């Protein structure tokens, strides 16, 4: 099977080097009283870094992560890391859950037990899943590709091989958001014969056919496209950098833990339903555990490079042809503070849509921010497809 148990074990040398770098940070200035208006707030980042130095205990967090069942497996020449937790119920079905950026598999740690053991969270045991939560190639504990082309379509093919060939499941469910939604959509298109269905928290890829024979855009769809344009103008600079010059960016982020934290933490604040108070949704330990996975593995460069890979292939402009849709049965859950909040009719142009949920709260990192809302929607959708 070539599937090997794995234990997370970051060396003392890496942790000691981190402490040295944190204690020798060279801080920039800031416009007084500018808050977060120019980017990551200086006072908050200093507070977070002080906590990282003095109070954050990686070994405690590492121990909690190792309570999950970790494995590695060679796929397409890469050593891929994944969590594989078996369901506790009468007939669990497998589900692959894929994270995005700037997340890691850690984003999924709250929904994994809710999916595997629903009875322990007030649910029905018959809704149980065997959960497979991989780390994207070049993210955290999964090896980075040394060749170009490791985009979401390529990852989808790797995931299908992992599930059907290495783990031996004949049919499986899929969930993803952000880059994970791109992987999930590609699974739903190119590997749909192996799927129960797909569940998404983002429905912007593939782009629908909008040719002469397509239905006119509704007012809601027009507003959606304007919202996307406005978001790209105000918030999309990071993505443009990732897509165009990821190598240039990686030197600073891979060398400075303060720079890495500043690059990531601003996204958790901006992209969440937190009202400007990031710690109303995430603890410092949660923020730093995610950051630590990038830091300890030195993978922030390979992670942001995936944007370039996705931009260099048809997935960047993946547009369906006339009368074409993603054939897998599809559910979409829209969280109101996500980066993109399309109307239902937009998703219906691209997907075999069977379920649509407008969530009452939550943002981009749904699995970490609103795990109960997300899991209940996943359970409800696949309940009718088992």
Q: Which of 178, 102, 177, 189 is nearest to 153 (CA)?
A: 189
Considering the candidates 117, 130, 178, 377, report the single residue annotated as catalytic: 178
Helix (H) or strand (E) holding 84: strand 78-85
Known active-site residue 364: yes
Considering the candidates 307, 337, 338, 377, report the single residue annotated as catalytic: 307
Helices 300-311 and 152-161 meet at what angle, rounded to 10? Answer: 110
d(CA 161, CA 168): 9
d(CA 255, CA 251): 6
C-beta separation of 334 from 311 below 8 A = no
Q: How far is CA 62 from the centre of its chain?
A: 20
d(CA 221, CA 17): 50
d(CA 138, CA 303): 5
Enumerate long-range contacts of 231-237, CB under 8 Å, 24 or more apart.
231/339, 231/340, 235/270, 235/339
Q: How far is CA 120 from CA 8, 63, 89, 116, 123, in A?
A: 26, 22, 11, 9, 7
Q: Which of 303, 282, 295 is nearest to 58 (CA)?
A: 295
d(CA 70, CA 73): 10
Q: Which of 330, 337, 20, 11 is nearest to 176 (CA)?
A: 330
| Main-chain phi, psi angles of 316, to 5 degrees | -60, -40
Known active-site residue 282: no
d(CA 322, CA 13): 56
**Neighbouring C-beta atoms of residue 60, cutoff 10 Å:** 11
Known active-site residue 337: no
Q: Which of 142, 5, 111, 149 is nearest to 66 (CA)?
A: 5
Six-digit token pair at 316?
Answer: 């960047």
C-beta separation of 334 from 359 below 8 A = yes
Considering the candidates 99, 191, 242, 364, report the single residue annotated as catalytic: 364
Catalytic residues: 178, 307, 364
């Amino acid at each position: 099977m070539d599937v090997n148990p794995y234990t997370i074990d970051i060396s003392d040398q890496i942790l000691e080097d981190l402490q040295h770098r944190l204690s020798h940070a060279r801080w920039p200035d800031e416009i007084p009283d500018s808050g977060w208006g120019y980017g990551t707030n200086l006072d908050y980042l200093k507070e977070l870094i002080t906590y990282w130095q003095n109070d954050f205990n990686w070994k405690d967090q590492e121990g909690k992560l190792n309570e999950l069942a970790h494995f590695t497996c060679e796929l397409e020449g890469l050593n891929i890391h994944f969590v594989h937790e078996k369901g506790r119920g009468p007939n669990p079905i497998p589900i692959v859950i894929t994270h995005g950026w700037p997340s890691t598999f850690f984003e999924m740690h709250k929904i994994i037990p809710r999916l595997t053991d629903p009875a322990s969270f007030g649910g029905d045991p018959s809704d149980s899943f065997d959960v497979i939560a991989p780390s994207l190639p070049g993210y955290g504990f999964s090896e980075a590709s040394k060749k170009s082309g490791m985009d979401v379509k390529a990852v989808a093919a790797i995931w299908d091989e992992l599930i059907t060939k290495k783990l031996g499941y004949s049919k499986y469910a899929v969930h993803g958001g952000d880059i994970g939604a791109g992987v999930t959509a590609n699974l739903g298109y190119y590997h749909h014969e192996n799927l129960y269905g797909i569940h998404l928290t983002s429905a912007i890829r593939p782009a629908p056919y909008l040719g002469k024979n397509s239905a006119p855009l509704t007012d809601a769809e027009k507003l959606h496209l304007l919202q996307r344009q406005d978001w790209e103008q105000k918030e999309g600079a990071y993505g443009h950098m990732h897509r165009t010059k990821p190598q240039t960016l990686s030197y600073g982020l891979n060398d400075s833990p303060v720079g890495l934290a500043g690059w990531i933490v601003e996204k958790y604040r901006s992209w969440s339903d937190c009202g400007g108070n990031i710690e109303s949704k995430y603890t410092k330990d949660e923020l730093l555990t995610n950051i630590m996975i990038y830091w300890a593995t030195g993978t922030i460069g390979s992670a942001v490079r995936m944007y370039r890979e996705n931009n260099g292939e048809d997935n960047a402009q993946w547009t369906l042809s006339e009368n074409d849709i993603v054939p897998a049965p599809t559910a979409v859950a829209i969280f109101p503070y996500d980066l993109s909040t399309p109307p239902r009719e937009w998703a219906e142009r691209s997907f075999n849509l069977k379920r649509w949920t407008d969530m009452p709260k939550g943002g981009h990192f749904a699995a970490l921010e609103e795990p109960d809302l997300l899991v209940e929607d996943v359970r409800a959708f696949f309940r009718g497809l088992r």
